[in-house]
Amino acid sequence: MNATLTLLDRTSFIELNARERAQALLDPGSFRELLGPFDAVESPWLMAQGVVPQSDDGVVIARGSIGGVPAVVIAIEGAFQGGSTGEVSGAKIAGALELALLDAQAGRPIRPVLLFETGGVRLQEANLGLAAMADIHAALIALRRHVPVVGVIAGMVGCFGGMSMSAALTSYLIMTRQGRLGLNGPEVIEQNAGIAELDSRDRQLIWSLTGGEQRVATGFADQLAVDDADTIAHVVRAAFDTDRSLPANSSRVAHWRDRLSRLPERAEGAALRALSPGER
């Protein structure tokens, strides 16, 4: 097959919306949504600020199964307000993780998956979004002690702000080449530190710093996957099936301290890759 046919043969995961992504990961016919659009649990804060709300507040919580095992997929809709975390969307994510924790504590099998597509806290709901972040982080740390929590950053929004910490707290993180992971987004850095510090329009530079390929090469993410729905469903399932009980990346404090102590002067691109991510 030539390159064009190969591309046409794929179903782009990036082009799917949050609901379709959850459906793509769950076993066929097992998708069941909690607090869906018709429950109309939307943000109570946006209307007052002249912003049109969305009926699911931009987060899809779906139960079903992955490889025959009960699962919960938390999918963020990047097209609505940049996938930002508000009071309601944050509570949906934290609540789903906390329910998964109850299952895990009771010995019921559960496979939690987080699909990140977010710029972080929703500025219109600042403090409530930040509070939700704390709930989400606490739930992730409690849950990953029992079962692996798998994260996916497909793109094209990427994963930034407080939610980049959530991504870092997962047990196993999958990225596409198009995905990006960073604490501050490039526009934010340029706005605050100037264009000499970072030109947010330089796509090659941005992806060489925060893109999926670089993040996997430098050990911040675990696996690179092509933008194909079947492939991503496969690697997510494989991450659970081959549970090697790895220590969560963020729990390897000595490892990261050592990396920091050997940081090159310009800690970017190839120089950062030269620091071996080391085996887990």
Partner 1 sequence: METLELRFPGDRPIIRRAHVGVVGSGDLEILLSPASETTVTIRTSVGGFGVLWRATLERFFARHPIAARVVINDAGATPGVVSLRLAQALEEAGS
Q: Phi then psi for 105, rounded to 5 degrees?
A: -65, -30
37 binds partner 1, rule: CB under 8 A: yes
Do the beta carbons of residue 151 and residue 175 sit within 8 Å?
no
Least distance in angstroms from the C-beta of 33 to partner 1: 10
Which C-beta is closer to partner 1: that of 29 or that of 50?
Answer: 50
55 binds partner 1, rule: CB under 8 A: yes
Which C-beta is closer to partner 1: that of 28 or that of 38?
Answer: 38
DSSP string, 113-140: EEEE-B-SB-GGGHHHHHHHHHHHHHHH
50 binds partner 1, rule: CB under 8 A: yes
36 binds partner 1, rule: CB under 8 A: yes
242 binds partner 1, rule: CB under 8 A: no
Least distance in angstroms from the C-beta of 31 to partner 1: 13
Cα gap 262→44, rounded to integer Å: 48
Which C-beta is closer to partner 1: that of 47 or that of 195?
Answer: 47
Closest CA to 116 of 161, 168, 151: 151
Q: Fill in the amino acid letter for 17.
A: N
Least distance in angstroms from the C-beta of 127 to partner 1: 23
43 binds partner 1, rule: CB under 8 A: no
On the question of a cis peptide bond just before residue 156, with omega within 30 degrees of 0, the verdict is yes
51 binds partner 1, rule: CB under 8 A: yes
For the chain, what is the largest distance between any 2 Cα atoms, rounded to a whole number of angstroms? 54
17 binds partner 1, rule: CB under 8 A: yes
Least distance in angstroms from the C-beta of 36 to partner 1: 8
Cα gap 63→103, rounded to integer Å: 13
Least distance in angstroms from the C-beta of 256 to partner 1: 36
Q: Which two tokens stand for residue 242?
A: 């081959």
Q: Which two tokens stand for residue 194?
A: 């100037």
Do the beta carbons of residue 180 and residue 155 sit within 8 Å?
yes
Among 1, 38, 106, 253, binds partner 1 (CB under 8 A): 38
- Binding piece for partner 1, criterion CB under 8 A, among 35-43, 102-110, 229-237, 250-258: 35-43
Which positions from 69 through 88 interact with partner 1, judged by CB under 8 A?
A: 77, 79-81
Total residues binding partner 1 (CB under 8 A)? 15
Q: Fill in the amino acid letter for 186.
A: P
Which C-beta is closer to partner 1: that of 77 or that of 87?
Answer: 77
261: CB partners within 8 A, 6+ apart: none
Q: Which two tokens stand for residue 153?
A: 């950053």
Which positions touch partner 1 (CB under 8 A)? 17, 36-38, 47, 50-55, 77, 79-81
